Structure 1
Amino acid sequence: MSYPEFLEYPEPRYHGERGEVNAAFRPASTPPDISSPGGGATHYIATNESTGGEFGLYKVELGARAAGAKTHFHKAMSESFYILSGELELYNGERWVTGREGDFLYVPVGGLHAFKNVTDEPMSMLLLFSPGAPREEYFERVAEMSQRGGEELKRFRIRHDSYFVEDFEPEGSRGACHPAVSSPDGS
């Protein structure tokens, strides 16, 4: 492979001459930041705060038959999925695909996407948001807010740059014209 003589890198943001000691190490043995019934857990690997807003990286473990998230998009950030173990059904905006260990899905800003575990086995993945955003409150309160539902849930989602298709469809048409709200087998 050949490379152009002049490569375009972002403008420098560090202007020192010798570098500095500022790396952050997080051991694998760090317990999850959130645990949920059914074997779910979320690990805050690198947050918006710890990366200065550059990105957010989270390890998410879903238990068997975990609902995941219905079809939505983000206006301010991209989202990437990297499957570490197990299988995950991913909606890529057009169709459902099965993600397995080592598979990757990049969803640009504004891209429709959804995910769920339809298997009888747990799975784990890395979620990367870029640029970083304060996602921790979303992860910590989404189950509670989903129980409340209605306008309160919709406001919570929008506060966290999560625009769910179902929040903007007329009442009688939910799921009627969007394949992502049905299961991968069409039911």
Structure 2
Amino acid sequence: MSLPIVLQPGEGKSVKLGTSTCTFKVTGENTNGHFGLFEFVMEPGTKGASPHIHKQLTEIFYVVEGEVELLLDRQTIMAAPGAMMLVPENTPHGFSNPGTVRSTLLILFCPADSREQYFEGLARLTENGRQPSQTELLHLMQQFDQYPVP
């Protein structure tokens, strides 16, 4: 059974990914696996997520503040606050903050599964500036329905 949640700004479990912070506002545990909502804060010059697909996951990205470079299929868009991107399954996508100000992106995805475990695993692999091997990254990605796109 799902329970109601109220989180104030800055609240929620979070992980550091280099100069970014991913905060788990709502996880599959909170919604019986239906959807999740994460807040992704990127400092200026952050590469973010390189192009990838999900075979069983739909995502929505919503820019809250700053500008975010969104990649959808082969199109790159500089997205301002209020911009939204819907990414169906098997659609290449990615995001970054090449700008000069901090940006905040909300990421809604369904089904939720255990998506936070991907970000927790990525945080462990990159802890203290460590550069994980391609094999380590691929192994983590494939566990959570994420596949790189060349």
Q: TM-score range by the shorter chain?
A: 0.7 to 0.9
Q: Whole-Å Cα distance in 2 between the matches of residues 88 and 36 of structure 1? A: 18
Q: More strand per residue: 1 or 2?
A: 2
Structure 2 length-normalised TM: 0.87
Q: Is the 8 A contact 2:12 2:25 kept in 1?
A: no
1:40: how far off? 2.5
Q: Percent identity?
A: 29
Q: How does 1:18-167 map to 2 (within 5 A)?
A: 23-36=3-16, 40-145=20-125, 147-166=131-150
- Give CA deviations for 1:7-29 in whole Å, capped at 9, x if unaligned: xxxxxxxxxxxxxx965122214
Q: Whole-Å Cα distance in 2 between the matches of residues 138 and 151 of structure 1? A: 15
1:126: how far off? 0.8
- Unmatched 5+ stretches in structure 1: 1-20, 167-187
Structure with bigger gyration radius: 1
Count of aligned positions: 146
- Unmatched 5+ stretches in structure 2: none
- Give CA deviations for 1:75-132 in whole Å, capped at 9, x if unaligned: 1111110010000001110211011100000000111001100011110011011111
Q: Whole-Å Cα distance in 2 between the matches of residues 45 and 35 of structure 1? A: 12
Q: Whole-Å Cα distance in 2 between the matches of residues 37 and 142 of structure 1? A: 7
Q: Is the 8 A contact 2:87 2:93 kept in 1?
A: yes
What is the DSSP-based 3-state SS (H/G/I as helix, E as strand, rest coil) of the residue aligned with 1:49?
A: helix
| Alpha-carbon RMSD | 2.0
Q: Is the 8 A contact 1:39 1:122 kept in 2?
A: no
What is the DSSP-based 3-state SS (H/G/I as helix, E as strand, rest coil) of the residue aligned with 1:36?
A: strand
Structure 1 length-normalised TM: 0.71
Q: Is the 8 A contact 1:38 1:63 kept in 2?
A: no
Comparing 46-55 and 135-144, the one that deviates more = 135-144
